[in-house]
Chain A
Amino acid sequence: MSETVQDVSTLIISKLLANPKVPRDITGSSKIVEDLAFDSLAVMNFVMEIEDELDVSVPLDRLAEIRTIDDLASCIVSLKKGT
């Protein structure tokens, strides 16, 4: 199965919206730290949930480059392709 960046981004947004504290108007270009008010621990914990859903591990050093939800989606897609 090969997800597109769009698929993964949609999945991330739906997971995020399950948390009532997350603003309702988030999009793929929302910034995870600034727009969602996540601290570093919250980001790592949230990514863990997505990892399980998609059976992929996102190394923490890759996480450092991620600003938006779409960045996270692209990173996951590239990890799943093994690049």
Chain B
Amino acid sequence: MTIFDKFRGIEHRLEELKALGGRNPFDVVIERPLSSTAGIIEGRETLLFGTNNYLGLSQSPRAIEAACETVRARGVGTTGSRIANGTQSLHQQLERRIADFFGQTHCMVFSTGYQANLGMISTLAGKEDYLLLDADSHASIYDASRLGHAQVIRFRHNDPEDLHKRLRRLDGTPGSKLVVVEGVYSMTGNVVPMAEMAAVKRETGATLLVDEAHSFGVLGSTGRGVAEAAGVEKDVDFIVGTFSKSLGTVGGYCVSNHPELDLVRLHCRPYMFTASLPPEVVAATIAALEDMQAHPELRSRLIDNAARFHAGLNTLGLTTGKTVSPVVAVVLDTIPEAIALWNRLLTLGLYVNLSLPPATPDHHPLLRCSVMATHTPDQIDRAIEIFSEAVNSLKTEALPT
């Protein structure tokens, strides 16, 4: 018996995955990005359709320039926590810019989006409180529920009536009720029915936190996300999000009109006990936000691209989610089928994400694709063509059993 015995199961599963497809799907290396939409993988130019880089801003010239200038002026890191030596004027500027963008009074910036959810949710919902989570919540939200001390209740995915029922069961119990939903669910691309969720919040007096990680920069007339798109921003108490998707950098944030957000800084362990963002990342993030605001056409192009890709995959007879969003998940029946298709796509020059149960809802494996504003129509058509070639070539071969 050793301390590693618990990993033997995953070791065995990984060997099976490698045997089925020849690759370790969790060890893909992008040797070098060529642009926001293409990179070198296994020595070949490969189309990137699994990066979450929705607006392509990881390669924003403005952000690159800001990062270079800042790193020369300020060095490469802060070496400290936000509540000690890790707050520079740039961190405060970024907080002001993000708060202003959302039209909210307060903002906290975290070192990652994961930590923003982990910190906010675990800190807001205390021992006497209840935390109500969508069943398909991201790992950062589930981990927050384990770090905190609240009682945790799951409601059915994207089901406001089920949430309402579960809140009703808590009628008369002391303690606050914090409801957490995501704008766009990262595995499936499903969009939350935000207006209905906000109505439940109003009716029950619960506190509402929305994770806009995959909807920030994507939905809403100015890119503020699903709450803006549904016209219910005033019902949302806290918006959490990340810079590592639409803004192309790294880091997380929470914005709110509750002035008590500043008190959270002194209770929130994932905020307090980690180093703050390096100055060049902060500068690049501010520049990327400016880029996003200066180029609203990126958002409309993204939505057009998502619709083109979604329709193309459906024409091939592949099963995807119904809603068109920049996350397009191809749902497959079996793991061997998913492994074979994912490997064939990569060999043919298309990178997408392989998502396996139990990280996916309903025990179905998914090929999770993410579309970008910077994909050209030709790249989208080529990606659909590669899907078609891969599916057809696998049909003519016996699938591994």
Contacts and interface: CB of A to CB of B under 8 A. Distances in A.
Contacts of B151: 59, 61-62
A60 B151 CA distance: 7
28 contacts: A39-B358, A40-B358, A41-B357, A41-B363, A42-B358, A42-B363, A44-B135, A44-B154, A45-B135, A48-B135, A48-B154, A48-B156, A55-B169, A56-B169, A57-B153, A57-B166, A57-B170, A59-B130, A59-B151, A59-B152, A59-B153, A60-B145, A60-B152, A60-B153, A60-B154, A61-B151, A61-B152, A62-B151
Give the interface residue-count category, chain B: 10 to 19
Interface of A: 39-42, 44-45, 48, 55-57, 59-62
Interface in B108-149: 130, 135, 145
Given A45-B135, A59-B151, 11 more contacts: A39-B358, A41-B357, A41-B358, A44-B154, A55-B169, A56-B169, A57-B170, A59-B130, A60-B145, A61-B152, A62-B151
A57 B169 contact: yes
A61 B363 CA distance: 23
Interface in B227-261: none
Contacts of A62: 151
A55 B357 CA distance: 29
Interface string B358-381: 100001000000000000000000
A66 to B, nearest CB: 14
A44 B361 CA distance: 12
Contacts of A40: 358
A20 B82 CA distance: 54
A9 B170 CA distance: 24
Nearest to B361: A41
Contacts of B154: 44, 48, 60
Residue in A40, A48, A60 whose Cβ sees the most chain B Cβ within 10 Å:
A60
Contacts of B170: 57
Contacts of A59: 130, 151-153
A60 B146 CA distance: 9
Contacts of A48: 135, 154, 156
Contacts of A61: 151-152
B360 to A, nearest CB: 9
Contacts of B169: 55-57
Contacts of B130: 59
B46 to A, nearest CB: 32
Contacts of A41: 357-358, 363
A55 B400 CA distance: 44
Residue in B145, B152, B357 whose Cβ sees the most chain A Cβ within 10 Å:
B152
Interface string B189-218: 000000000000000000000000000000
A44 B156 CA distance: 11
Contacts of A45: 135
Contacts of B145: 60
B191 to A, nearest CB: 22
Nearest to A55: B169
Contacts of A44: 135, 154
A4 B358 CA distance: 33
Interface in B310-368: 357-358, 363
Nearest to B170: A57
Nearest to A59: B151
Nearest to B172: A82
A42 B358 CA distance: 9
Nearest to B142: A60
Interface in B148-191: 151-154, 156, 166, 169-170
A44 B154 CA distance: 8
Nearest to A60: B152
Contacts of B363: 41-42
Top 4 nearest A-B pairs (CB, nearest first) are A59-B151, A60-B152, A41-B358, A57-B153
Contacts of A39: 358
Nearest to B358: A41
A44 B133 CA distance: 12
A13 to B, nearest CB: 22
A41 B137 CA distance: 12
B186 to A, nearest CB: 16
A44 B130 CA distance: 17
